[in-house]
């Protein structure tokens, strides 16, 4: 992922637009439902861009990002990071144009989901529940809903239909409309002010292997036609949300088939959620960054040394890719993925720091990724409040130096994370140790003593033979 200084500079200009009217009610939705997921910085950026739009207008005046930095009292890196999160969660679309006069952007604000869409989304509501807990989640549901009040059965509907109230146009009226048809059509260079309902978050269905899923399903049990476009979208979202493989997804699909040979979406969601909570001790997934957040990136200039290149690589690469490359291209197992997810959520380690942790663990344990060893390092780094790749690399070096010094002196000022088991006769320099020499000497003495006893025994036997004769 490119750095903010490559993508954005203060003199770049921008315009703000909206693909529909933003209502006052949207502020409550953004504050209470979106802010826990994206943070207050993202909300501030969105609200500021919104404020630049004139009332009932869809375009703002042109401004520079330097003005935006002053309005928000925020540096450009934080603004860029907030922009990416807004794009990812579906609240912003960004367009860019470069020419001889410079670079200019269009920021198109997208209205948030309405409360009903959000609470029935199947992804965002799960992340919100995990973030704020059951009690606050229930409180927000009550805040954005109202009790149903059914009509009394004694009331009869007397609403008139359109044709009961209005008559059709007369031929003369039709002629009048034809004569003024141009006035009745929309202007080619104008657009009506309105609002298009926001679409829920949707993971690209191409990220899920449906061929492998169908290979594991029996056509007689789950016909191909049951995998409709809507079902495939739900499966892709569930696979991303809960980390479900095509092989595991097969069981949930089979469990959601109804008597009409259709896949019940609610049963599918419930099956996946119940499985995840069972596997994770009744917990739900959290929303985390895929790569190192810009606020914790330290390699801001073009890397020159090997270490700077390594830092840049760790800051811009997802942990799963690092794990796979260090493993020689072998895909991580489900258990490995579960460990990675747990340490990022439980210990709140940024992805770049997790990348360093992966290499430390794999190098020290002969390419094993054991949960106990991983958690011992993760908990230690979490207590040290390590957030950047450079800090993680320094912590790993310090631990290694401490361990090597303790081996040389024979004393340990602190308990090492892991003690490498080596044979008693071999030290870390590859030479036979003094202790090994002592043992060898002892063995030689014992051998000499045994030889002497054997000689005495043979002498006694010879004397006994002579005596018998």
What angle, rounded to 10 degrees, do the helices at 371-383 and 334-346 form?
20
Sign, CA dihedral 111-116-117-121, equals positive
106 and 15 Cβ atoms separated by less than 8 Å: yes
User: What is the distance of C-alpha 326 from the center of its chain?
Assistant: 20
As a whole number of angstroms, the distance between CA 270 and CA 260 comes to 19
pTM: 0.54
Query: pLDDT tens digits, the chain, 469 residues: what are they?
Result: 455 667 888 999 999 998 878 888 899 999 999 999 999 999 999 999 999 887 657 788 899 999 999 999 988 888 998 999 999 899 999 999 988 888 999 999 999 998 988 998 888 888 898 888 889 999 999 999 888 777 777 888 888 887 778 776 555 555 655 555 555 565 656 555 556 666 666 777 877 888 888 887 776 678 788 888 888 888 888 887 777 888 888 888 888 888 888 888 888 888 888 887 777 666 666 555 555 665 566 655 666 788 888 888 888 787 877 888 888 877 777 778 778 877 777 787 888 888 889 888 888 888 888 888 888 998 999 888 888 888 888 888 888 888 777 767 765 555 555 444 433 323 444 444 444 444 445 555 555 556 666 776 676 666 556 555 4
What angle, rounded to 10 degrees, do the helices at 65-72 and 40-52 form?
120
Rounded Cα–Cα distance for residues 440 and 437 (Å): 5
- Please state, in angstroms and rounded to a whole number, the distance separating the CA atoms of residues 124 and 113: 10
Q: Give the integer Cα–Cα distance in Å for 222 and 226.
A: 7
Q: Which phi-psi region, left, alpha or beta, contains residue 122 (left: φ > 0; alpha: ψ -120 to 50)? A: left
Phi, psi of 106 (to 5 degrees): -120, 120
The arrangement of strands across the sheet holding 63-64 comes to 63-64, 13-18, 102-109, 92-99
Are 79 and 68 contacting, i.e. CB atoms less than 8 angstroms apart? yes
Return the SS3 of 109.
strand
User: Longest C-alpha distance within the chain, in Å?
Assistant: 155
């Amino acid at each position: 992922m490119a750095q903010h200084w490559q993508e954005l500079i203060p003199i770049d200009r921008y315009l703000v637009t909206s693909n529909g009217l933003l209502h006052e009610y949207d502020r409550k939705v953004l504050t209470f439902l979106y802010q826990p997921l994206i943070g207050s910085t993202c909300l501030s950026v969105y609200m500021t861009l919104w404020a630049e739009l004139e009332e009932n207008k869809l375009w703002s005046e042109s401004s520079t990002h330097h003005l935006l930095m002053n309005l928000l009292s925020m540096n450009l890196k934080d603004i860029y990071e907030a922009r990416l999160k807004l794009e990812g969660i579906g609240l912003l679309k960004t367009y860019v144009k470069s020419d001889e006069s410079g670079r200019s952007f269009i920021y198109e604000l997208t209205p948030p989901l309405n409360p009903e869409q959000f609470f029935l989304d199947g992804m965002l509501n799960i992340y919100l529940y995990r973030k704020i807990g059951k009690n606050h989640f229930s409180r927000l549901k009550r805040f954005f809903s109202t009790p149903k009040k059914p009509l009394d059965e004694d009331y009869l509907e007397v609403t008139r239909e359109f044709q009961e109230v209005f008559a059709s146009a007369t031929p003369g009226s039709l002629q009048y409309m034809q004569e003024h048809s141009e006035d009745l059509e929309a202007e080619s260079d104008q657009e009506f002010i309105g609002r298009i309902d926001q679409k829920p978050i949707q993971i690209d269905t191409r990220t899920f292997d449906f061929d492998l899923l169908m290979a594991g399903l029996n056509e007689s049990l789950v016909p191909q036609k049951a995998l409709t476009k809507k079902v495939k979208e739900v499966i892709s979202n569930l696979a991303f949300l809960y980390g479900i493989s095509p092989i595991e997804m097969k069981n949930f699909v089979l469990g959601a088939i109804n008597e009409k040979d259709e896949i019940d979406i609610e049963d599918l969601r419930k099956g996946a959620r119940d499985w995840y909570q069972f596997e994770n001790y009744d917990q739900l997934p959290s929303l985390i960054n895929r790569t190192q957040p810009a606020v914790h990136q330290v390699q801001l200039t073009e890397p020159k040394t090997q270490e700077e290149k390594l830092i840049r690589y760790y800051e811009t690469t997802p942990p799963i890719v690092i794990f796979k490359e260090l493993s020689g291209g072998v895909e991580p197992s489900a258990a490995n993925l579960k460990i990675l997810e747990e340490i990022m959520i439980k210990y709140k380690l940024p992805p770049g720091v997790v990348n360093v942790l992966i290499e430390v663990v794999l190098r020290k344990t002969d390419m094993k990724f054991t949960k106990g060893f991983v958690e011992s390092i993760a908990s230690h780094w979490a207590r040290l409040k390590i957030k950047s790749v450079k800090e993680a690399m320094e912590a790993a070096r310090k631990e290694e130096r401490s361990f090597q010094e303790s081996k040389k002196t024979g004393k340990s000022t602190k308990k090492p994370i892991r003690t490498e088991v080596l044979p008693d006769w071999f030290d870390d320099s590859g030479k036979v140790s003094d202790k090994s020499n002592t043992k060898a000497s002892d063995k030689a003495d014992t051998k000499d003593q045994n030889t002497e006893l054997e000689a005495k025994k043979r002498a006694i036997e010879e004397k006994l033979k002579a005596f018998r004769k």
